[in-house]
Amino acid sequence: MIEEIPIFRIEVWSSQCDGNGNHWIKLAHQHGITSLTNCHTARLFFIKGDLSLEAVHHLSAQLLIDPVIETFTVSPTASIQPTLPADHMIEVTLLPGVTDPAAENLVRAAKLMNPALTAQAVTGQLFLLEGSLTSQELHLLAHRVFSNPVIQRAEIDQPITPSFMLGDQREGAAEVIHLCEADANTLLQLSEARCLALDLAEMRAIQAYFQREERDPTDVEIEMLAQTWSEHCGHKTFKARVTYWGPLPGTAPDSPPVEQQIDGLFATYIRRATEQQMKPWIRSVFVDNAGIIAFDECWDLAFKVETHNHPSAIEPFGGANTGIGGVVRDILGVSARPIANTDILCFGPPDLPETDVPKGSLHPRRIAAGVVHGVEDYGNKMGIPTVNGAVLYHRDYTANPLVFCGCLGLLPHNSHPNRIQPGDLIILIGGGTGRDGLHGATFSSKEMDQSTSETSGSAVQIGHPINEKQVQEVIVRARDERLYSAITDCGAGGLSSAVGEMSRGMGARVHLESVPLKYPGLRPWEIWLSEAQERMVLAVSPAHWPQLETICAGQNVEAVCIGEFEATGRLRLFYQDNCVADISLDFLHDGIPKRHLEAVWTPPVAAAVSDLPDQPDLTSSLLALLAHPNISSKEAIIRRYDHEVQGGTIVKPLVGVDNHGPADAAVLIPQNTIGPSTTYRQQWPTGVALSAGICPAYTEFDPYAMAWAAID
């Protein structure tokens, strides 16, 4: 008989006034649940491991509480009785496989106390409720207020059972997809069933390739192609050939229409304009994780912005959290140290009635609160100042917000290498790999509907900023010691995207069993495409690998060799001794059929403007304008972001005598660039200004003029 591993439940309570409880009461009342009169909260921890009750008690006292303001209780889960110390109780934990940074840190700290310990942890929340609550109100509290079913589960009036990850019997096996003989309907059904987001022409191109290879593809190959060809990664709409019929851009809407062939919006209007100018201060553009421009004679600036709208719509905190984390990783991916964050956020009306919220969507107020918390959590914990941004509200952002994240980085001139050689090792550093964000790239490429949160919940990730901070320190030191020949991040598509892009024009051989996992049971395609955050891939000469490994160990960052680059022109993946993917890199990156789109300009219909009354009440009109969420102060949000950390912020987000007025731009003087050794400097140090422009309401009248106005 196999002895069960014990599970312990730890409750951490505030011994002072419970401010969190008041916060949840306010949210409940906003949802119309006014019968909730009192709420007490506790943090829950579950530890599974071969530990005694005394050992868990000692661990809790050392790691989980502030003894001045908190108390705790420990008990084996087997002894928990469903008795209610209040009118009602709701408990919430994360779903299996969702990143749990607090649990990961708990296990890591526990292992420092006892290196021989093997344990798992899960965190959660406990809510004790008082009031005459109906079953319908309890269900609404559990699943709409206290938790998000996309990433969490809840129990009402009974203790929750923690979910620890178990192994999968299919571990290590690659599934063969019978594609070569499939008809059109079968191809489309396969794309839909696997969340590939590929159209019929793309599925037929894949089918034709494997017919030439004289074999059916594996699930690893199909998933890798879908990720590489996704709208999110491949920008198919921007690259499509467009037949346009209408007035030329910049002319009046009633100008004579003309037919125009546009060979890619990106190539025609963005790349060409930049390349025609090609100013001398442009260091790198369109070829890497972020653009790089000159700062002064010794330093360069890297900048990257990216939207994270779909993930933020279904899980606001995680979507914004990993949106910031993603652009920070992109800055690290060009060997720069992050020095500032920016965020432009657009939501639906905060006072929207619950009945007007689209089915399957979160209330704009819930989305806004989660997004702001996600931005705050990542930037503050990494020590990156959030110095610039915007917050706007408009009805068209109700179901799908705009979460536009940006990061500014600083790097020494000519310090970012990109010269992979055959025989270079493929080194993976950072956090473990789990089922986080699977199909995130294809999910972000699909149209959202009311079922999105149910069918694409696995695409949501939760960030771990402390891990990324440690990775940052490794990269900056490895850069200065020139230990790697190329670097990129594991963003959308995970290792598939990172190694796939790095090996382009070269080739690579990867051993998936070498990838560190958060928990057992992942199949090869899941390991390859997981979007688990805080991971970077480096190309490292075998001679430099021991030194890099030592640096990683000093920062407590896991680092492993998962393969090597080779001059084969193919990407070959193995799990143990089994080849689970073998695909031409030319087809992977250039085999996608080019889309042909038709576009017609339809001038927007101007909204009717109501006449002013003969004697308008200007006082009430002024007060109404000042109370509008797009005009009223955003200080409550701005103050949650640390804009002083790193000591380089000269012009702050709020300025004026009492620091109440929004600044036109933030100005920074990076501390790394100031010092007695910089003898080339004149009287004043060099600074960088960071600003943003946005006017979505203008789009209803003229999108072209709106873009001009935003830039101006």
The set of catalytic residues is 232, 308
Q: How far apart are CA 47 and CA 51, in angstroms?
A: 9
Spatial separation of the C-alpha atoms in residues 691 and 238, rounded to whole Å: 26
Q: Are 218 and 581 in contact (CB under 8 A)?
A: yes
- Token pair of 158, please? 């009974």
Distance of CA 223 to the CA centre of its chain: 20
How far apart are alpha carbons 86 and 589 in whole angstroms? Answer: 59
* Burial class of residue 302 in the structure, from the number of CB atoms within 10 Å of its CB (0-12 exposed, 13-18 middle, 19+ buried): buried
457 and 508 Cβ atoms separated by less than 8 Å: no
Instruction: Convert 64-80 to b/e letters by CB count within 10 Å (16 or more is b).
Output: bbeeeeeebebeebeee
How many other CB atoms are there within 10 angstroms of residue 421's CB atom? 12
What gap in Å lies between CA 271 and CA 474, rounded to an integer? 33
R_g over Cα of the chain: 27
Q: What is the DSSP string of 148-160?
A: -TTTEEEEESSPP
Nearest Cα neighbor of 497 from 232, 269, 283 is 232
**Contact between 374 and 316 (Cβ < 8 Å):** yes
Q: How many residues does the chain have?
A: 712
Using DSSP bridges, classify how beta strands 7-14 and 36-49 pair: parallel, antiparallel or unpaired: antiparallel
- Per the CB < 8 A criterion, the answer to whether 653 and 643 are in contact is yes
Dig out the tokens for 139 from the structure.
């269900």
Beta bridge partners of 263: 241
Structure tokens at 316: 């606001």
Residue 135 CB neighbour total at 10 angstroms? 10
DSSP label of 610: P
Here the tokens at position 270 are 């963005």
Residue that has been written with the tokens 């688990």 in this structure? 532
Residue 286: partners with Cβ closer than 8 Å, 6 or more residues away: 271, 274
> 476: buried, middle or exposed (CB in 10 Å: 19+, 13-18, 0-12)?
middle
Largest CA distance in the chain: 89
Element (H, E) at 704: helix 703-711
Structure tokens at 220: 């690893």
β 425-430/559-565 pair status: antiparallel
| CA distances, 113 to each of 56, 62, 87, 119 (Å) | 12, 10, 39, 13
Residues 6+ apart with CB under 8 A from 13: 40, 42, 70, 71, 72, 73
Give the 3-state secondary structure of 323-368. HHHHHHHHHHCCCCEEEEEEEEEEECCCCCCHHHCCCCCCCHHHHH
